[in-house]
Structure 1
Amino acid sequence: MSDIINFGTLQLRFLHTKDDTGGSVDIFEMTLQPNARMPIPHYHDRWDETIYGLSGVSTWTIDGKQSDLAPGESVFIKRGIVHGFTNRSTGPATCLCILSPGVLGPQYFTEMATLLSSGAPDPVQMKATMLRFGLIPAPPA
């Protein structure tokens, strides 16, 4: 399972999915290029998320509070908490993402990558895709 999903300035490589873990976890490596950011801050109510820094430094905003994630550090995002990320550094940042239980899988990211590759993605389609997979876009601040 080494296919890379390119998501603009993000690259994801799934290591385990809900399908091969019986729904226990989804685990993927995510690389954020400089200036990469989460397209739409969101929350989810069906899984928790743990992020472990592997290389570089990314900035995570969790429940309105920003924290830098360096190699060897981790953040926990409880279900229902709005979050987003960015890479403000001049080099790539890589982290390991663990979703528990595993309910998302790579299909969401594949569909969003297709929408984003169209140049000017339709926000209505993006929101519909997010909601179909259990990601709830955060209301504008």
Structure 2
Amino acid sequence: MTHLEPGAVDVRTLADHPLTDAGSSALRMVAPGAVTAGRFGLVEYRLAPHSRGADPHVHSTFSESFYVVAGELTLYAGDRWQPCRAGDFALAHERGVHGFRNDSDEPATFLILFTPGIAREEFFAEMAELRRSGRRPSPEEMTAFYARHDQVMVDV
């Protein structure tokens, strides 16, 4: 179901949103914006031990919320990297500098909620394809890629 009428209920199973391998991580588009009528997007993310997730960056048109399900995620928030454990929640408002990585010896599983539900799945699909292909885009190509997906990298 791609468009919900008022009062409708949409139930999705794991088969509806398979896990996508993205190198040292894996992600699952649990509820893309197309399913939620653009209200939100929800991603389940699994990050391997000692892995980079996303360097500090900002978005101008959407917020990201992080909820740690298992393990420990290191989140850049405000002006520093800090550990977040299972049950911790963090919200990065529009234009809020944030990033994430796994500094621990165990995998980290967390949810990312995008509000509103922009087509963020396209960003993750393109990133996974870049990793699979082994192609190394130029800095100019990466800047254009990020700009297309409302992501500006920030030096901290």
Q: Which has the larger radius of gyration?
A: 2
Which amino acid counterpart does residue 19 of structure 1 have in structure 2? Answer: A
CA contact (8 A) 1:58 1:70 kept: yes
Q: Give the partner amino acid of 2:146.
A: M
Q: Does 1:125 align with 2:125?
A: no
Superposition map of 1:57-136 within 5 A: 57-119=72-134, 121-122=136-137, 123-136=139-152
1:20-64 deviation digits (Å, cap 9, x = unpaired)? 111000001000101111344211011111101100001001132
Paired residues for 1:8-23 under 5 Å: 8-23=23-38
Q: Deviations over 1:83-127 (max 9, x none)?
A: 111111111000011011111331111111112233352133222
2:122 partner amino acid: Q
- Cα distance in 2, alignment partners of residues 104 and 63 from structure 1: 26
TM-superposed CA distance for 1:16, in Å, is 0.5
Q: Aligned equivalents of 1:35 and 1:118: distance in 2? A: 22
Contact 1:53 1:70 in 2 (8 A): yes
Q: 1:118 to 1:124 in 2, by over 3 A?
A: farther
Identity of aligned residues (%): 29
Is 2:42 the counterpart of 1:27? yes
Q: Aligned equivalents of 2:81 and 2:119: distance in 1?
A: 25
CA distance in 2, matches of 1:79, 1:97: 14
For structure 1, which runs of at least 5 residues remain unmatched after alignment?
Answer: none
Q: What's the C-alpha RMSD, in Å, of the aligned pairs? A: 1.5
Letter in 2 for 1:27: L
Q: Separation in 2 of the partners of 1:16 and 1:110?
A: 15
Relative to the length of structure 1, the TM-score reads: 0.90
Aligned residues: 140
Instruction: Give the letter aligned to residue 69 of structure 1.
Output: C
- Flag structure 2 segments of 5+ consecutive residues without an equivalent: 1-15
Alignment partner, residue 4 of structure 1? 19
Question: Match of 1:52?
Answer: 67
